[in-house]
Chain A
Amino acid sequence: MSLRELKVCLLGETGVGKSSIVCRFVEDSFDPNINPTIGASFMTKTVQYQNELHKFLIWDTAGQERFRALAPMYYRGSAAAIIVYDITKEESFLTLKNWVKELRQHGPPNIVVAIAGNKCDLSDAREVLEKDAKDYADSIHAIFVETSAKNAININEIFTEISQKIPHLDTSDSGVRGLKLRREQSDLTRERTCC
């Protein structure tokens, strides 16, 4: 089984629960070898997807307006971006749309975009209709889920869907890199036979 490292960038207004989502995702990890990271800004989790292991390297970004200009440094090289908004704050949904635009313009090409409407446990205070968000997501071919980091709703689902949408390596790249070989293979074989 091969292992792929997928850099995933978290975008969204401050306070929408970006890091809570990641913490929830990483927390109920079934991987006994998962490494704790020094803080919630950067976390990793490995999950199996079909015959691949996907190791998500999750880069959180600061959502404050002032730090917005710094985001390109973070989303550069990402395989996917999760843009989070708060279903109880219409404004955070508008910010999300700006992020989508920015990613389109400056983000990596083919980046998988996932939209997460967080705090869906607070449906009484809802300001963004699920249907509106869903329609918007469909229009930009983005993954869409409403999540609740608090109640662990749909958290794993986002990442599963990202796994599904990440282009499969074998089909996306043929030839040159597929032949990439390793110098030490003979040694590896030798060692295996002796133990």
Chain B
Amino acid sequence: MKRLDDEPTKSGKRTSFSDNLTNGDSVTQRNPVALLQRLRLCQEAWNPGSPWDRDGAHAALWGRLPGSFLVVTDSSSQNKLLCVSVDDQNKKVQDFPIIQTGSAQRLDTSHLAFSDLLQLVIFYSLSRDVLPLCLLIPSWVCGLTEQPEHLVSHLGPKAWVCPSADLLPGTMSPGTPEAPDNVMCTIQLTADNGALCFINPLYLQEHGDDWLTHSPVSTNLINRPFTSKRDRRLSTARPWAGAGLKKRTESVEESPVVTDSSGSLVQSPVSPVTTTGVILRRASNPDTSDLQKRVSVDSISSPIPQSPHRVSWVEDKLWNPPAPSSLLHPPCLEFDSLSMSSIEEEPDPEQAASPCQVQNSPRLPLADKVKNRLSAVGQVFGGFINPQKRLSKRVQEMSERKGSPFAEALKGFLEQTLKMRAACGVTSTEILQEVRSSLTALRETLYDSVEIQSIIDTLGDVPDFELDTMMEQALHKVALKPLFSHLNECMKTARQQDGSLHRLQANQKTLMSRSLEELEGTAGAGVPDAAMLEKIQQRWASMHQQYSPQKKVEMLLKVCKNIYHSMTVNAKPGVVFGADDFLPCLTWVLLRSDVVTLQIDTDYMMELLDPSQLQGEGGYYLTSLYASLYYISSFRSRLAARQLSAEAQKSLSQWHRRRTLHCNQSRRSRNRRTFRRHRSNEKSDEESEEVNASDASKDNDQTHTADVTETLQSVTENFGEEKEEEQNG
């Protein structure tokens, strides 16, 4: 798990531009991921399922320490309720309904939305926002990592709200009024005109925040050069929220830099220590943009005091004692990731790797005006340094410009696809393959445009395939979004016509009654309980709503994570659950889900996802989903099971083939500049090769890896080689 690996680097940088602060190198670092993790471990304690309800929670919270809380489901409205003990003297417990809007959760009275409950709880344990006080997390939670998971799961709500005065003074207690002796943060503000500046929080302590509403620039504000922002991005541990899908991108991207800068060999491709002085660029999480926008808009339209400044992000790490309840807590550098619901509820493989997780980030006594503008954070953040957004915006503009080659091509594609009806004999795969090849062609058009080139030129050292991914993302918005529902219909019709959905549903019925063991599941692995199953259904539903295949995969990873959680909840400590256990469990879940929709979503992801993303974690679980659906639809009785039906074999071979074609396409486009002609020859070869499809596909994969590696080598060896590229291209 990535932690604060790049801490030294960052601290160093920070001192360099705010030299009156001795940034927190001296402060003990705790694992920032842990709080999320620990809270997740004991979620059953603070978020008990049935029979816990509002009354039960009130009873349990009665007279507990202020800030003690439970999240329960209101039996009447079926909404989640955050019940908080607000005053132990008067024995008062207040309820705060949690509203679920799409995939976002927020308190009824607040505009800050979170992608899940865990984030919401953590946020309010750090910043009270609309609550009368911060939520109180018992200090035993801090020790949770020492315990095996199975013990934790037995801790119930009673333990959670236990008043056993076990609060860690100064860490979790909301009421310690000592002044922080060691404030190490910088708040960055953004004026409405886009200028960036810094504020030393000590200044706020000293002088208040009145100036915020007066002059646009304070003497204490330092203009921050754009490059320093990029320096921050050096953070090699910084995740890119594509979860497994991005994993590959990430390491490949970073490795050349390591070698470049130090000239020495390092174990880790992403060792931050050796990268000093090299700018690593990375796209901010492109996936938050929608939600970001929504939240930002919400917040801006909310009646907050207007001033020329907005907090764009808060930088800092360390803290000492927390201040009273009206604290702003800057959870991490990527503030947007918390408030804008982009971080995973549980530390996701990639996302959790954020160098600046919530856990013990210190609390920062901030002036109210600053705090009130927190919600605008994400917008500014994204607008400034998110190349994805720039790219998407430009692509959007280009698509609306009548007469431009791209707009024309796009229009043609959209019209043609919308006219398309699932004709007899056309498989859903074929439909999607057509779309995929058009997408690739459109991407080419974009690359050929001067406007896009100029943006790319400013991006710096983004590897080709990462660029492709960003371009895809931008393209999906203009090309897939309008087609999404139409495509869904076509795929469904096609799959109905070929009988595969019927088979799937019939077998679902047959298998539904089987227990995990009967599905070849291994003893000891649990299955999701009703509440978790419900949560998973919601996630499937939001997965279905995503038009972007990448975002769908992210949702799938969340579901898989939930499944793992259920598997391990009651397991013996130390038991490792691999595919032997996971696949039956996934199958068990699928049998209780809308397999028809899932099949369509799986097709959609499989066909439209960039093939380079299929080797990583996202690719693995997508393959598992595909495999599991395949298992269900091709299920035959035990006697017949050993022999695959001819039908199933055909389908399997088709599966190989289509991935093959895709890999090929993508590779060609990747090398478009240099070897376009050569690649197209190859294509015809491979298309004729059906019998040995899996072999060919292997070739492709290796080829792809080879491309990547050689790309990296060429970077490290000779920066001047672009001349050759011109010659070749």
Contact = CB atoms under 8 A, between A and B. Distances in A.
Interface of A: 1-7, 10, 14-15, 18-20, 22-23, 30-42, 44, 46-48, 51-53, 55, 57, 59-67, 69-70, 72-74, 76-79, 106-109, 111, 169, 172-173, 176-192, 194-195
B237 A33 contact: yes
Contacts of B255: 1-3, 53
A134 B674 CA distance: 47
A189 B237 contact: no
Given A18-B578, A41-B578, A67-B520, A35 B1 contact: yes
A53 B96 CA distance: 51
Contacts, number: 295
B464 interface: yes
B268 interface: yes
Given A20-B576, A73-B626, A109-B698, A37 B459 contact: no
Nearest to B521: A64
Contact of B578 (A44, A60, A70): A60
A62 B577 contact: no
B556 to A, nearest CB: 10
B594 interface: no
Contact of B694 (A4, A35, A72, A79): A72
A162 B556 CA distance: 31
Contacts of A4: 705, 708-709
B707 A67 contact: no
A23 B260 CA distance: 32
A169 B462 contact: no
The 10 closest A-B pairs by CB, nearest first: A19-B578, A108-B698, A77-B701, A60-B579, A181-B725, A42-B620, A3-B255, A62-B583, A188-B461, A70-B627
B267 A30 contact: yes
Nearest to B265: A1
Interface string B452-472: 000011111111100100000
B580 A37 contact: no
Contacts of B200: none
Nearest to A23: B576
Task: Name the residue in A32, A78, A108, A173 with the highest tally of chain B Cβ atoms < 10 Å from its Cβ.
Answer: A32
Given A39-B582, A191-B461, A192-B260, A3 B269 contact: yes
A66 B709 CA distance: 37
Contacts of A184: 456-457, 459-462, 467
B420 interface: no
Contacts of B725: 181-183
Nearest to B634: A69
Interface stretch (B42-50, B369-377, B648-656): B648-656
Contacts of A179: 674, 714, 724, 728
Contacts of B715: 182, 185, 188
Given A76-B694, A109-B695, A195-B227, A61 B5 contact: no
Nearest to B346: A38
Contacts of B3: 32
A2 B583 contact: no
A192 B715 CA distance: 13
A63 B460 contact: no
A41 B237 contact: no
B536 to A, nearest CB: 14
Contact of B231 (A44, A61, A195): A195
Contacts of A18: 578-580
Contacts of A19: 576-580
Given A3-B251, A32-B271, A62 B671 contact: no
Given A72-B652, A169-B710, 6 more contacts: A15-B580, A39-B578, A52-B709, A72-B694, A169-B709, A183-B467
B2 A35 contact: yes
Interface string B690-729: 0000110111111101111111111110011110110010
B59 interface: no
Contacts of A32: 2-3, 5, 268, 271
Q: Identify which of A46, A76, A169 gathers the most chain B CB atoms within 10 Å of its CB.
A: A76
A34 B460 contact: no
A69 B271 contact: no
Contacts of B520: 14, 62, 64, 66-67
B712 A188 contact: no
Interface in B652-705: 652, 655-656, 659, 671, 673-675, 678, 694-695, 697-703, 705
A32 B4 CA distance: 10
A182 B714 contact: yes
Contact of B258 (A1, A34, A79, A106): A1
A189 B556 CA distance: 39
A177 B712 contact: no
A70 B695 CA distance: 16
Nearest to A15: B580
Nearest to B655: A73
Nearest to B237: A33
A176 B615 contact: no
A76 B706 contact: no
A78 B522 CA distance: 26
Nearest to B649: A69
A175 B522 CA distance: 50
B202 to A, nearest CB: 29
A64 B578 CA distance: 12
Contacts of B706: 169, 172-173, 177
Interface in B603-626: 615-617, 620-621, 623-624, 626
Contacts of A73: 623, 626-627, 630, 652, 655
A116 to B, nearest CB: 14
B697 A67 contact: no
A34 B27 CA distance: 24
Nearest to B616: A57
Contacts of B460: 184, 187-188, 190-191
A160 B64 CA distance: 56
A190 to B, nearest CB: 8
Contacts of A177: 703, 706-707, 710
Interface string B324-361: 00000000000000000000000111101100000000
Contacts of A79: 702, 705
Interface stretch (B82-90, B141-149, B489-497, B557-565): B557-565
B381 interface: no
B698 A77 contact: yes
Contacts of B656: 72, 76
